[in-house]
């Protein structure tokens, strides 16, 4: 069974930084790609960033230049470094891993950007 466990969310002031972690129960290379999604109240879940098995990264326009996705293959962990946070980044952030046509999700971690 595949498990994804997020950590690192919290409350931060505008302009601040947070790093999210997603630990997997399988080797990262089990997944075609891994990514971070977010869902704000009243909005649809949206892709924030993802990284392919080969290391290719992709970012939503709204976070380019501020967020960085990375991974530690030895720790089977994917990270999302979030800098210059804005109030509109407030959301529940979910880790996602795709194995073939099957998507696996973590339980989500709340990120709140507020003064």
What's the whole-number mean pLDDT along residues 73-80? 96
- What confidence tier does 10 reach under pLDDT thresholds 50, 70, 90? very high
Mode of pairing for the β-strands spanning 109-113 and 33-39? unpaired
| Per-chain mean pLDDT for the chain | 96
Under a CB-based contact definition with an 8 Å cutoff, are residues 46 and 100 in contact?
no
Q: Which pLDDT score is estimated for 1?
A: 84
Confidence band for 93, pLDDT divided at 50, 70 and 90:
very high
Query: Cα–Cα distances in Å, from 7 out to 39, 59, 80, 106?
Result: 16, 20, 10, 10
Q: Of 47, 79, 96, 26, which is closest to residue 108 (Cα–Cα)?
A: 96
Q: Is the pLDDT of residue 61 over 90?
A: yes
Eight-state DSSP code of residue 2: -
């Amino acid at each position: 069974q595949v498990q994804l466990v997020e950590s690192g969310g919290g409350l931060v002031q505008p302009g601040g930084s947070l790093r999210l972690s997603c630990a997997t129960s399988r080797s990262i290379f089990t997944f075609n790609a891994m990514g971070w999604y977010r869902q704000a109240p009243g909005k649809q879940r949206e892709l924030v960033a993802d990284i392919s098995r080969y290391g290719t990264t992709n970012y939503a326009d709204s976070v380019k230049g501020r967020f960085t996705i990375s991974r530690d293959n030895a720790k089977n962990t994917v990270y999302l470094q979030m800098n210059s946070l804005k109030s509109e980044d407030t959301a529940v952030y979910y880790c996602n891993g795709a194995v073939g046509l099957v998507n696996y999700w973590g339980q989500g971690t709340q990120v709140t950007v507020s003064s």
